[in-house]
Amino acid sequence: TKQKLWGGRFTGTTDPLMHAFNQSLKYDQRMHAADIRGSIAYAKALARVGILTRDEEAKMIEGLQAVGREWDNGQFTPAPDDEDIHTANERRLSELIGPLGGKLHTGRSRNDQVATDMRLWLLGEAEDVLSSLKGLVRVMVERADKERDILLPGYTHLQRGQPIRWSHFLLSHAFSFKNDLERLQQLIPRISVLPLGSGALAGNPFAVDREFLAKELGFLSLAENSMWGVGDRDFIVEFLMWSSLTMTHMSRLAEDLIIYSTAEFGFVALSDAYSTGSSIMPQKKNPDSLELLRGKSGRIFGNMSGFLMTLKGLPSTYNKDLQEDKEPLFDSVDNVSASLKIAEGVIATMTVHGDKMRAALTMDVLATDLADYLVRKGVPFRETHHVSGRAVALAEARGCQLNNLSVEDYEGLHEKFEDDVVQVFDFEASVERRTAIGGPSRKTLDRQISVLRAALD
* Stretch of 106-114, 142-150, 281-289, 334-342 contacting ligand ARG, by CB under 6 A: 106-114
Q: Per-residue x/- mask for ligand ARG, residues 25 to 54, rule CB under 6 A?
A: ---x--------------------------
Region for 313 from its dihedrals, namely left if φ exceeds 0, alpha if ψ lies in -120 to 50, beta otherwise: left
300 vs 322, beta carbon nearer ligand ARG = 322
Helix 85-97 to helix 32-48 angle (10° resolution) is 60
76 vs 265, beta carbon nearer ligand ARG = 76
Task: Decide if residue 323 touches ligand ARG (CB under 6 A).
Answer: yes
* Stretch of 107-115, 234-242, 274-282, 396-404 contacting ligand ARG, by CB under 6 A: 107-115
Task: Decide if residue 110 touches ligand ARG (CB under 6 A).
Answer: yes
110 vs 249, beta carbon nearer ligand ARG = 110
CB of 84 to ligand ARG, least distance (A): 4
116 vs 297, beta carbon nearer ligand ARG = 116
| CA atoms of 367 and 392, how far apart (whole Å) | 7
For residues 68-97, which are near ligand ARG according to CB under 6 A? 84, 86
Task: Decide if residue 24 touches ligand ARG (CB under 6 A).
Answer: yes
| Single-letter residue type at 455 | A
Q: How many residues bind ligand ARG (CB under 6 A)?
A: 11
Which of 131, 271, 278, 305 is flagged as catalytic? 278
Task: Decide if residue 126 touches ligand ARG (CB under 6 A).
Answer: no
CB of 306 to ligand ARG, least distance (A): 16
27 vs 155, beta carbon nearer ligand ARG = 27
Task: Decide if residue 114 touches ligand ARG (CB under 6 A).
Answer: yes
* Stretch of 109-117, 186-194, 357-365, 396-404 contacting ligand ARG, by CB under 6 A: 109-117
54 vs 320, beta carbon nearer ligand ARG = 320
In this structure, what is the dihedral angle of CA atoms 123, 128, 131, 137, given to the nearest 10 degrees? Answer: -100
CB of 114 to ligand ARG, least distance (A): 4
- Among 39, 111, 244, 441, indicate the residue that binds ligand ARG (CB under 6 A): 111
Q: Is 157 noted as a catalytic residue in this protein?
A: yes
| CA atoms of 315 and 248, how far apart (whole Å) | 32
CB of 86 to ligand ARG, least distance (A): 6
* Stretch of 182-190, 291-299, 316-324, 389-397 contacting ligand ARG, by CB under 6 A: 316-324
317 vs 441, beta carbon nearer ligand ARG = 317
For residues 404-433, which are near ligand ARG according to CB under 6 A? none
Task: Decide if residue 318 touches ligand ARG (CB under 6 A).
Answer: yes
CB 345 within 8 A of CB 360: no
For residues 198-237, which are near ligand ARG according to CB under 6 A? none
Task: Decide if residue 366 touches ligand ARG (CB under 6 A).
Answer: no
* Residues near ligand ARG (CB under 6 A): 24, 28, 84, 86, 110-111, 114, 318, 320, 322-323
Q: Give the residue numbers annotated as catalytic, written as ranges.
A: 157, 278
